[in-house]
Amino acid sequence: MILLALLYLCFFSGSWNTFALPTDSRWPEILPKNHLHSIFIRDEDRFDSRSIYGILWSCLATIFACTWITVHPNIPAPGDSQWAVLRRRLAIMGYFLLAPEFVIMWAARQHFDVRYLTTKYETKHPGWTRAHSFFLIMGGFTLHEGGNPVRVLEAKDLEELSVEPRKIEWPTITKEEIADRSKGDYLSKTIVLFQMIWFVGQCIARWTYGLTVTELEVVTVAFASLTGVIYYLWWDKPLDVRCSIPVHLLRVCLEDIRKEETGPQMIPSPEICAEEIPEPDEDVVANHNPLPATSIQVDTTTLDPAPTRMQRFQAFRRGACKEYGTLFGLGYVFIGFPLKQFIYSFGDMWDCTTLGDKRLRVPTFYSSDDHDDDNRGIPFRLAVWVATGFGTIHGIAWYLQFATWQERWAWRISAILVSGLPIAWILVMWLFTIFSRRNNTPTWMMLHQGFITLILIAFACLYIIARIVLLVLPFVALRALPPGAYVQLNWVSFLPHI
């Protein structure tokens, strides 16, 4: 792997000569005989012409369907602006383009958590489906007190608050009502799947006829292959839901409250359970905290108006400049902090199971920690296999026609890195586990942990560079396509596609 890294740097440090015609390493093409006569005998010809615009349109439309329409974000907070919702979705789209296996790992975590929650609740609560479980872990139920939102409910909170002594009613929303809130249905998902199938099919047909398949089309096929995996994992998850469902806090029994405060010898009071919480001026519930001990406690009566985005940014900038100095503070604000958030997001896709500092929405890459222990490692193994397969699909372009030999080898090395680094990462972790069992002294463990951390950082940097190369090279290659790339199969146009 180190040798590949050195070769990688050598190829990128050399002269590219991308526009010099003498460096063209492509071999002559044998085009279909009736291609040149397609204008005159259109009805009897199987071939037509296409332009770079047509190639770009079909590829970008398919990639957009893979990265934008396929991704199902969690529900935003009530006060989130349209820009905040758009920014999160664009971030997920960017992560999917750069590291799709991590997004698939997040989707797999939610998928197996939903399977566990559905099996757990469907017998106790008839009508509970996988759509309900997805709606729950994406932040679909918010606890309300006195008509004001308090916090989003996790699965453990919903279960704890609905048992005796009951503090909330179990949500009674139906599957049809959840589907009505979703911006996507089975028809829209089927249309996207047909677009993926059409694109992959026309690339296979081009390969069969001996026509050139561009590097951009190979990248698009790689993303299209992931669409089926994403849709399988998120098939029942509602798409682009903007509002959660309020779950109102019930009045608890005064008798139970007094028993908790003064002991069981108190004189019983009349039963007033199963009513919604009174107006805020009544202090019956205010003196008794009904939320679980592990939940985030919030005093909704003393909340100040939320500061604007500019005020939060200015306060953050002043704090950074005060702590690190003006120069380093500004560097942290505009470079260090975004980079840290970018890296932390991969960790969230790995194991984010808590709300953190969020109150009215779940984090972007959140999933419940309620799952079957037998399925705990499946999302990680699935992500590794997806990454390996994703890089292998890029290897289809191993013998494609590149304008320069530097581009060809940059593509080959990048495909090898994308395919091999996940497996190499597993081997490194396996070796670390073996050595840790044989020698677990503090000094040895500290040295090994530092060494493993350096290796993983190097692997991550190489992987990101390789992914960027595989995203940039296809567009660079459009400047000098071979003649066979402009030949189109006529019958492909008759199939429904975007």
The neighbouring-strand residues paired with 141 are 245
pTM: 0.76
DSSP one-letter string for 409-441 = HHHHHHHHHHHHHHHHHHHHHHHHHHHHHH---
Which residues of the chain fall below pLDDT 70?
A: 1-48, 185, 251-307, 371, 373-374, 436-445, 448, 491-498
The confidence score (pLDDT) of residue 416 equals 92
Distances from the Cα of 190 to the Cαs of 336, 394, 426, in angstroms? Answer: 42, 26, 36
The confidence score (pLDDT) of residue 240 equals 86
99 closest CA partner among 331, 345, 275: 345
> CA–CA separation, 52 vs 156, rounded Å?
53
Domain of 464, in residue numbers? 402-481
> CA–CA separation, 432 vs 436, rounded Å?
6
Question: How crowded is residue 400: how many other Cβ atoms within 10 Å of its Cβ?
Answer: 17
The confidence score (pLDDT) of residue 38 equals 40
The confidence score (pLDDT) of residue 493 equals 59
The reply to whether 173 falls in a domain is: no
What tokens were used for 81? 């602006």
Contact 144, 248 (CB under 8 A): yes
The reply to whether 419 falls in a domain is: yes
> CA–CA separation, 365 vs 110, rounded Å?
9
The reply to whether 88 falls in a domain is: no
Q: How many domains does the chain have?
A: 1
The reply to whether 293 falls in a domain is: no
The reply to whether 427 falls in a domain is: yes
Torsions phi, psi for 354 (to 5 deg): -125, 160
The confidence score (pLDDT) of residue 294 equals 44
What tokens were used for 179? 């589907």
The reply to whether 150 falls in a domain is: no
